[in-house]
Structure 1
Amino acid sequence: MEPAVWPLYDLRITTPRLELRLPDLDRLSELAAVAAAGVHDADRMPFVAAWTDVSPEERARATFQHLLGTVAGWTPRKWSLGLAVSWEGKVVGRQDLGATDFAVTGEAHTGSWLGQAYQGRGIGTEMRAAVLHLAFEGLGARSMTSGAMADNARSLRVSEKLGYRPDGREVLSVRGEARDHRRLRLDRAGWEAHRTVPVELHGLEPSLALFGLQ
């Protein structure tokens, strides 16, 4: 991809162990394979949308199509940045950052998933810290939101470590059942007070206009 056409392909976020970037077709194929291999146990559903309740082949295809769709549907007013997360040279998961009217609100939201084979290593915390650095330090965010099911202790612990505070709850229908979903919010002061992961941004400036920023 020629960077002048879509400079987001040149954006990289690095931490001591990870690299996050918009995947080219090769990395996107790797990401699809990670999704196919499994993201969670079959008897639980950590996501609001039960996108993993399909065959491995369908998960791979949906992952591939969805990320390409975020590129195709991007506008400076409404955008969703889907980053492939690499650890030890392997793609291991996906970290998202999205917003509507970010230039006005200064608020964005995050979402993520990590291949089941790579969970329990602190990667989830490190990749969220990376994208929070992009939001607050790189894009000048004022606040960030996230959420998790009440029984998703691992995700809630990650948010707590990074300084998020409770922001209400809601009951959602997932797999035809009522589920308790917790909303979370992080302001700039909370982020600064809980920063522990060194993060570096590379190649951001050419993409600022795509985020609605001048």
Structure 2
Amino acid sequence: MSRTHQPIWRRAALPSAVLCLTLAALTGCSSGASDPAGNKHAAAGTESGSDAGKGAPAGARSDATTDPEQAAPPQQVSIPSIGVTSSLLRLGLNADRTVQVPPADKGMTAGWYTGSATPGEQGAAVLIGHNDTRFGKAVFHDLRKIRKGADITVRNTLGKTSHFTVTGTESVSKKAFPTDKVYGRTTARALRLITCDGAFDAQGHPVNNLVVYATLR
């Protein structure tokens, strides 16, 4: 993120029916307005046009549920090794099918993308957070410091806590975002954390995304 507040993700391609789990054609999305109270951002690290990428697969969210408590929406994420504790906003899609992210004035709050799996269920659950905003450092500013084996805990609205172990991290170009790896169907009970990373381009946009991969203990 630049000091003048740039979006986490500028443009993306998303399936038009990602929330109802049907296969759909990918639709290109342009960058949203920079209104700090409700700016629009695109999906994690994917861009259209010259920075084309594939959007989150429509089947990314699993409908398999074995534990009613586990299926409750997530409420809080904690990463003790880097001193992060945050409540979780619910992030869906904007009217133009771009993925919502936390508004800049809530930069210290992460969000759960509701089109992904519920943390602890089968599938890939995706949490999104800013690196920084025009208001300063944000919730995932130190995410690059996380190490393999670190603990991430997610507490749901019923008070049940799930522990995830970090299995790896990668900084990826927004021009070659590993969409299937991040959003694709998986039999694992997986967690992905995403924020901006890397140097800035001439327009002040971070050129990379940082992805943290974790699995349920």
TM-score, scaled to structure 1: 0.30
Higher fraction of strand: 2
Task: Give the structure with the larger helix fraction.
Answer: 1
Q: TM-score, normalised by structure 2?
A: 0.30
